[in-house]
Amino acid sequence: MSKIFLVGIAGGSGSGKTTFAKKVMRAVNNSCSSLLHMDSYYLPTVPQLNGMVNFDHPDAFDWDLLRTHLSDLKNGHRIHCPVYDFSTSSRTTKYENIGPCKVVLFEGIFSLYDQKIRDLLDIKCFLHVEADIRFTRRLHRDVRERGRSLDSVISQYYDTVRPMYQKYLDPQKQYADFTVGEETDVAALILSARIKEFLDNRTHNETSTENFEFSQLQ
């Protein structure tokens, strides 16, 4: 199988992971790239904390399926990615076909959390954005896109989102090859250049990424 370039993008809820990933994909401008959202791998029944569904704990995710799918993508196979419905907090019976492709951007709050998944990643990125900005973005998103009430979003933030970020999410920075702040345009261009370099090498049957340097990103 031809080598697949797999990029992990982690960060707290509202840090702009999806937006950053889409910027990278636009800059790469290659039809053989795909975006995989970790949100798709929430368990059919997500655990609760203090009577509230806790979407920000590692136990909320289907790690076995996620590891299998990332390994399949890495090996050049197609996957049937599940579809999660946040309005009902449940996994639907639908799925999305992803792959085979040359580049996969994998974004999610725990994309750098698991050792087995980190071992599959060619580049590991963490988005570090101030808490008030992340909270504001999450507030607007959940009310507008997920049908949540203002009070429920605020309660969830203080009950689960903030403490889980401090305990589980922020420590993932230690695994990142580079950290990106709120301004992501330059970082997206640099990361896309690394991906284009891989694609060019792949075209010439040069699949090794060992000589990639990240000093410019740090």
Per-residue pLDDT tens for 103-117?
999 999 999 999 999
pLDDT value at residue 182: 80
Q: Specify if 158 maps to a domain.
A: yes
DSSP of 35-55: EEEGGGGB-SS--EETTEE-T
* Helix residue ranges, H only, 119-208: 131-145, 150-156, 162-164, 185-203
Residue 194 has pLDDT above 90, yes or no: yes
Residue 210 has pLDDT above 70, yes or no: no
Are 134 and 13 within 8 A, CB to CB?
yes
Q: Specify if 190 maps to a domain.
A: yes
Q: Specify if 218 maps to a domain.
A: no
DSSP of 104-124: EEEE-TTTTT-HHHHTT-SEE
- CATH number of the CATH domain containing 98: 3.40.50.300
Are 17 and 30 within 8 A, CB to CB?
no
What is the SS3 assignment for 125? strand
Q: Dihedral, CA atoms, 15, 126, 122, 79, nearest 10 degrees?
A: -30
Please compute the mean of the pLDDT values over residues 34-60 and round it to a whole number. Answer: 89
Q: Specify if 47 maps to a domain.
A: yes
Q: Specify if 136 maps to a domain.
A: yes
Q: Is the dihedral of CA 8, 84, 44, 131 positive or negative?
A: positive
Please compute the mean of the pLDDT values over residues 90-110 and round it to a whole number. Answer: 94
Q: Specify if 81 maps to a domain.
A: yes
* Number of domains, the chain: 1
Query: Bridge-partner residues for 42, per DSSP?
Result: 61
Q: How far is CA 166 from CA 5, 13, 57, 160, in A?
A: 30, 12, 11, 10
Q: Specify if 214 maps to a domain.
A: no
Residue 31 φ/ψ, nearest 5 degrees? -70, -15
Least confident range from 1-5, 19-23, 73-77, 141-145: namely 1-5
- What residues make up the domain containing 68? 5-207
Query: For residues 193 and 216, what is the distance between their CA atoms, to the nearest angstrom?
Result: 12
Please compute the mean of the pLDDT values over residues 194-212 and round it to a whole number. Answer: 69
> Per residue in 152-189, pLDDT tens?
888 888 888 899 999 999 999 999 999 998 878 999 99
pLDDT value at residue 205: 56
pTM recorded for the entire structure: 0.85
pLDDT value at residue 207: 41
Q: Higher pLDDT residue, 86 or 176?
A: 176
Residue 129 has pLDDT above 60, yes or no: yes
Residue 216 has pLDDT above 70, yes or no: no
The DSSP secondary-structure symbol of 168 reads: I
Residue 206 has pLDDT above 50, yes or no: no
What is the SS3 assignment for 215? helix
Query: For residues 81 and 57, what is the distance between their CA atoms, to the nearest angstrom?
Result: 21
**Which residues does 196 contact at the CB level (< 8 Å), separation at least 6?**
28, 30
Q: Specify if 213 maps to a domain.
A: no
